[in-house]
Amino acid sequence: MAATGASGQTSNSVSNIFENLTYGPAPEADNVAKAWLDDHKREFGHFINGKWHKPEGRKYYQTKSPATGEILASTIQGEEADVECAVSAARNALDDWRDAPPHVRARHLYSIARHVQKHQRLLSVVEAMDNGKPIRETRDADIPIVVRHFYHHAGWAELMPTEMKGWKPVGVVAGIVPWNFPLMLLTWKVCPALAMGNTVILKPATFTRLTALLFAEICAEAGLPPGVFNVVTGGGAFGSKLACHSDVDKVAFTGSTEVGQILRHVTAGSGKKLSLELGGKSPVVVFESADLDSTVEGIVDAIWFNQGQVCSAGSRLLAQESIYDKLIQKLKDRLTHFRLGNNLDKAIDMGAIVDDSQKRSVEEFVEHAKTEGAEVYQASACVPARGCFYPPTLITNVQTVSRVVVEEVFGPVLVAMPFRTAKEAVALANNTRYGLGASVWTENISLAMEVALSIKAGTVWVNAHNLFDAAAGFGGYKQSGYGRDGGKEGLYEYVRPEWQERPRPGIVQVNIKTFGATVPGRPTINDIDKNEIQVNGVKMPSIDRTYKMYYGGAQKRPDGQYTRPVMSMSGKVVGHVGDGNRKDIRNAVEAAHKAAPGWGKRAAHNRAQIVYYLAENLEVRREEIAQRICAMTGQPLDAGRQEVDQAVQRLFYWGAYCDKYGGSVQETTLYGATVKIHEPVGVIGIACPDEYPLLGFVSLFAPAVIRGNAVVIIPSEKHPLVALDLYQVFDTSDVPGGVVNIITGDRNHLTKYLAEHQDVQAMWYFGSPEGSKFVEYASADNIKRTWVNYGVSRNWSEVEAGQGEEFLFHSIQVKNIWIPMGDIFAN
């Protein structure tokens, strides 16, 4: 440290230093980074098939240092031919990489980890120069996490035959990552993909391409086979071309919710897997029982880490009313000591915003907050005159509907609101369309855990924020996306069941506006099975029975007051069912939401007993239901009995999983416990296939409800009667009203309203290629999870296709709760 006197001359006297406590510069050397740039004449092409690729006639993008404005290098702007080249390289390398012994893949990932460590300082400096974040963060956080991920996933590669038995690689993976953590987020996609036997094409963000290209060189140096990992650069349209390529089997994206919605639209119906890690508006919930001094430092890490350009940034401060004013004052005092400056200065607190366009966006949010009456406090004195800097900002006197409270700012801006009770805190925390992260601050561990379980977010930290590790998956709820990066839960994004080939439905034409249009049923007078009975020698027609809807635990007439005939395979009418519409779906979803909280909180053992009771009561009606199956499908009676028996067995199978898939403890680097919780998804819409009308119905609703979800289910369109025969089975088995809701009618017509419903959290569809595409397309509006069959039938009677971990994966969402320790031993 050096102190500066009034004359401007530096004084190194001890007394002067202690009097002023002024920091001097502590610059990190950038000579090695600049030498690397010079090695490439500061001009980079793509890295494809293990070598540099610079096609003629391409435009170039200039990468600048956000802190100084210095031009660092020029990188190529890719075109469609470059996508073809990269995909071809990845596809050609796939067979050898996929078929390599797991131990070989593990050695390659281990080698990459070692080589990253060898170049750790270089990567840290280039990342800081390229992105604008402080060297202290890249050196101490980003790059160590990169190394940790490769070591961790080398282990998963080794253990794949046992730990991922029954799964295989998806194929060619396209990774698209943002500019806020260019190398770290790249690693979160690449590690699990390579470990599971996939090849990868990575497109970094436009602003921050350099560390991805440096990393590609390091992979080649480490001996990774050509074509296994490729880096291509280009703009947003170029990324869409990559995602849409027919030979890309999986798209892994981190970025804004708006771009995630675009990717969901353009890949809909293609048969590709898609994972989305999107935006956030994470709450920091501070109770009066918190240690306020450590909380202040935690808030600094939560919101001003990486200039607030973090998807999980703790940008909403919720403080208990009794300590609100005190905490706000402590934060303001802390900001008076904040240091902004050159990102290569090891003593600064915050670096530069990545680009002028992002800075203008942040400024606009803050100015708009002022017009709404908010109070804005900024530590403006610490802002350097040169560079793309913005002061750390604290905004108070805001409302729950204020734009700065609702929308993701993605900058160093914290909004603060008070609360009175824990219930109000949870309600405020969940009052957002996002659900990526949250933190809870209190010395009361019971309160911390209950609040953490109540907040709808993929990661909740207790007395900490923005902790990451390879052993714990990171990802969101709601419009923060789906899928996880890290942990065993993250591996499932890069595999598919061994029995399943990738669906390739080709170009599917769907009119999104008219999809599902239908005309209700009309009277039918021909080919009716006239059920007659004889009473005292007199023939008379049996009493008519038209099946009703079933939701909220009661039978309901269809809102539209239309029915539809159910035909046997010989063309005769065997019954009538209600013809459901939009309002029936709305009512059923409302009933499901009323039931879901209580059902999800029930003891798993209780849910198991109910499912076993379902099996018991279904078997009592074995003969009746088997006959119903045969009347609709034309199968022999023995086949109907077999389907009932398989449905009973399947209920037993899922009943067994009620209390055996709740989560685990993750072995992260945290001194404490990181607890993985398998939480319900929420309300799941299900459209059943026509084949196996009972077994398909049971195979889909059972895994959903045993994990605490409520369902709105459309039974087989052709053969719905057998599902409706289960009304009494549900009622006599103590299934709470609203947990299972059955709406009959045209599958696509009802699917349309489930897929478009803003309060349905997931949609499973087993029907046509057109319906599959519509479901995926419509799901983009609220980023609901989907599971569709792309028109490919499965044999529901086979164990591998009709039950198993695939069903559990779609029935839960992973929450990781980080609980640090340290009262007895410091670690």
DSSP 8-state code for residue 528: B
Provide the pLDDT for residue 16: 75
Provide the pLDDT for residue 5: 40
Residue with tokens 């080794």: 158
CB 650 within 8 A of CB 698: yes
Closest to 773 measured CA to CA, from 496, 497, 483, 516: 516
Provide the pLDDT for residue 522: 76
- For residue 389, CA distances in Å to 316, 353, 778 come to 22, 6, 39
Provide the pLDDT for residue 10: 47
CB 192 within 8 A of CB 220: no
- For residue 373, CA distances in Å to 326, 367, 398, 455, 632 come to 22, 10, 8, 29, 66
- For residue 530, CA distances in Å to 533, 544, 605, 608, 725 come to 10, 10, 46, 41, 20
Residues 672-688, mean pLDDT to the nearest whole number: 98
Closest to 434 measured CA to CA, from 589, 276, 287: 276
CB 278 within 8 A of CB 176: no
Exactly one of 127, 137, 158, 277 is catalytic; name it.
277
Tens-digit pLDDT profile for residues 691-749: 999 999 999 999 999 999 999 999 999 999 999 999 999 999 999 999 999 999 999 99
Amino acid at 249: D
pLDDT-derived band at 782 (thresholds 50, 70, 90) equals very high
Report the alpha-carbon distance of residue 22 to residue 14 in Å, rounded: 12
pLDDT-derived band at 527 (thresholds 50, 70, 90) equals low
Report the alpha-carbon distance of residue 61 to residue 44 in Å, rounded: 10
% of the chain with per-residue pLDDT over 70? 97
Tens-digit pLDDT profile for residues 631-672: 999 999 999 999 999 999 999 999 999 999 999 999 999 999
Provide the pLDDT for residue 702: 98
540 vs 627, which has greater pLDDT?
Answer: 627
Tens-digit pLDDT profile for residues 400-452: 999 999 999 999 999 999 999 999 999 999 999 999 999 999 999 999 999 99
Query: Which pairing describes strands 532-535 and 538-541: parallel, antiparallel, or unpaired?
Result: antiparallel
> Is 60 exceeded by the pLDDT of residue 677?
yes
> Is 80 exceeded by the pLDDT of residue 524?
no
Provide the pLDDT for residue 314: 97
3-state secondary structure at position 168: strand
Active site residue 311: yes
pLDDT-derived band at 525 (thresholds 50, 70, 90) equals low
% of the chain with per-residue pLDDT over 90? 89
Residue with tokens 């096609």: 55
Residues 6 or more apart whose Cβ sits within 8 Å of residue 153: 109, 191, 192, 194, 195, 470
CB 416 within 8 A of CB 332: no
> Is 80 exceeded by the pLDDT of residue 529?
no
Provide the pLDDT for residue 8: 41
Residues 40-44, mean pLDDT to the nearest whole number: 97
Report the alpha-carbon distance of residue 42 to residue 29 in Å, rounded: 18
- For residue 353, CA distances in Å to 179, 313, 362 come to 11, 15, 10
How many other C-beta atoms lie within 10 A of the C-beta of residue 540?
10
Provide the pLDDT for residue 2: 41
Tens-digit pLDDT profile for residues 545-594: 789 999 999 999 999 999 999 988 888 888 899 999 999 999 999 999 99
Residues 6 or more apart whose Cβ sits within 8 Å of residue 347: 23, 24, 25, 26, 339
Give the predicted TM-score (pTM) of the model. 0.95
Helix pair angle (210-221, 182-195), 10° resolution = 40
Amino acid at 710: A
pLDDT-derived band at 526 (thresholds 50, 70, 90) equals low
Which of the residue ranges 24-28, 389-393, 481-485, 494-498 would you say has the lowest mean pLDDT? 24-28
Query: Percentages helix, strand, coil for the chain, rounded to the nearest 5?
Result: 40, 20, 40
Mean of the per-residue pLDDT values for the chain? 94
Q: Where are the beta strands (DSSP E) in 529-662?
A: 532-535, 538-541, 546-547, 549-551, 554-556, 563-567, 573-578
DSSP 8-state code for residue 614: H
Structure tokens at 247: 């030979």
Report the alpha-carbon distance of residue 684 to residue 698 in Å, rounded: 14
Active site residue 688: no
| Residue 751 CB-half CA count within 13 A | 35
Report the alpha-carbon distance of residue 18 to residue 14 in Å, rounded: 6
CB 302 within 8 A of CB 439: yes
Closest to 249 measured CA to CA, from 508, 482, 507, 501: 501
Which of the residue ranges 53-62, 117-126, 565-574, 676-685 would you say has the lowest mean pLDDT? 565-574
Q: Helices in 480-581 by DSSP H: which ranges? A: 487-491
Report the alpha-carbon distance of residue 226 to residue 220 in Å, rounded: 8
Provide the pLDDT for residue 7: 38
Closest to 230 measured CA to CA, from 240, 215, 208, 241: 215
pLDDT-derived band at 9 (thresholds 50, 70, 90) equals very low
CB 517 within 8 A of CB 752: no
Exactly one of 85, 191, 219, 311 is catalytic; name it.
311
CB 44 within 8 A of CB 61: no
Provide the pLDDT for residue 1: 37
What region, left, alpha or beta, does residue 527 occupy, with left being phi > 0 and alpha being psi -120 to 50 degrees? left
- For residue 517, CA distances in Å to 414, 689, 774 come to 47, 19, 13
DSSP 8-state code for residue 407: S
